[in-house]
Amino acid sequence: MRFWWLFFAVPMIACKVQDSAPAPSASASAAPVAKSVETFGAKIESNAQHVSLADATKHKGERVVTEGKVTRVCQERGCWLAIKDTSTDAVVRMHGHSFFVPTTSSGKHARVSGTVMLMKDGKECDEMEAANAQLEIDATGVELD
């Protein structure tokens, strides 16, 4: 019974405290950090017709890919969002409520694939009020980063 303290002392001696590893240094050969892109709905095809949001108004009834900054999102389910570039606002609704975007998407960059529509007189949702929106896009796919 005299050596009971060895039961505690031996493991303490055997444990070695590891010094923290040095921080990795930044170098010119470091790989660039990839952007985290989330896709909702159908994948956006790389060969789709890409137009600026301002030019999308000239493509009513056509399927296009466009992009802008998310300014508002439906807070009920994420069934619509509003995007804006330097001069144009658009409402993007998720085609037939077949998919939704996160309600926390405001401020993110959005890439949208869908059909350019005329602005509706009614609202898709009670909250759907994108002030000054010049067009509406019926989206089949949305990428957020």
Could you write out the three-class secondary structure of 84-127? ECCCCEEEEEEHHHCCCCCCCCCCCEEEEEEEEECCCCCCCCCC
Instruction: Kindly tell me if the per-residue pLDDT of 130 is higher than 50.
Output: no
Given a contact cutoff of 8 angstroms between Cβ atoms, the answer to whether 134 and 109 are in contact is: no
CATH class of 50-144: mainly beta
- Here the tokens at position 126 are 């009670």
pLDDT per position as a tens digit, 30-88: 556 667 899 999 999 888 889 999 899 899 999 999 999 999 999 999 999 999 998 88
> Is residue 20 predicted with pLDDT exceeding 50?
no
Average pLDDT value for residue range 18-32: 51
- Residue 4 has a pLDDT of 55
